[in-house]
Amino acid sequence: MPPVLDRIRVGSAPDSWGVWFPDDPVQVPWERFLNEVAEAGYSWIELGPYGYLPTDPARLTDEVNQRNLKVSAGTVFTGLHRGPSVWESTWEHVSQVAALTQAMGAKHLVVIPSFWRDDKTAEILEPPELTGEQWAHLTKGMERLGHEVKETYGLDIVVHPHADTHIDTEAHVERFLDSTDSELVNLCLDTGHYAYCGGDSVKLIETYGERIGYLHLKQVDPEILADVVRNEVPFGPAVQRGVMCEPPSGVPELGPVLEAAQKLNVDLFAIVEQDMYPCEPDKPLPIAVRTRKFLKSCGA
């Protein structure tokens, strides 16, 4: 018998349907995503890139209700390490997404730090390591964001460590957590990104459990990852090579991650995100069905 994971709420996201951008001719239309995510057996979804799903709350509510879906979170991209000069433009973007997220009844805003390497062109945009001053801008900026988002929209921010950003490796994630206030900022632990960057998800949950506010479930193919690391392949091309793979064929093992999360004894979303941009339109649904079945076999 699998363990009972009754504190874990499983969902999926546009990302598992190959969606990275609000509008892109190679992506599946949003109606098809909603139809198929419901057909695969999920009841929770994320908004994905702002503008992919309808941004009118009444219309989106109608669309998700028709399919018995609910929204767990919105997602924003930020470059707060650049200091106070970017606050206004950041807040403008965050406000749009947070307002829709709040209107959909969700409670979380996933915050992704900006890329130091372009995920499409592989162009190096800035150094991969931050200076001390930039770390201070990043941590203070995230705390301010957490405070403002909570005050204005009643949402909790969860910061998403991500490949090719400045919050990626175990050392960077721990530095970020040790430098921020748990009342204002917690973590969206993405098991795939953390493994991609050499981290151990179970260890992180066991060490920083009170800071884990949200989960993204994905796996990496260790053989492809070894080649990606060896050849310093950027994240976008690595995804095209299939570095993010269908569970349970990759790492980390998701069963132990979910069991460690269950032991925290708090309600947690665990949203499946298998990066597949770009992908054939008929590819995502069968994978989503199999992944849902696999997670059920783990007790989720």
Which residue, 254, 161, 263, is CA-closest to 207? 263
Query: For residue 269, is it within any domain?
Result: yes
Query: For residue 1, is it within any domain?
Result: no
- Mean pLDDT computed over every residue of the chain: 97
| DSSP per-residue letters across 245-268 | E-TTSSBS-HHHHHHHHHTT-S-E
pLDDT of residue 235: 95
Give CA–CA dist 117/126, Å, rounded.
7
Least confident of 60-74, 101-115, 118-132, 182-196: 118-132
pLDDT above 90: percentage of residues in the chain: 97
Query: For residue 3, is it within any domain?
Result: no
With cut-offs at 50, 70 and 90, classify the pLDDT of residue 2. confident
Give CA–CA dist 2/137, Å, rounded.
44
170 lies in which domain range? Answer: 8-297
Query: For residue 149, is it within any domain?
Result: yes
- For the segment 70-97, the average pLDDT, to the nearest whole number, is 98
Specify the CATH number for the domain of residue 47: 3.20.20.150
Total domain count, the chain: 1
| Cα distances (Å, whole numbers) of residue 255 to 44, 218, 295 | 20, 12, 8
pLDDT of residue 149: 98
With cut-offs at 50, 70 and 90, classify the pLDDT of residue 119. confident
The model carries a pTM of 0.98
Give CA–CA dist 102/214, Å, rounded.
17
Query: For residue 2, is it within any domain?
Result: no
**pLDDT tens digits, one per residue of 123-151:** 999 999 999 999 999 999 999 999 999 99
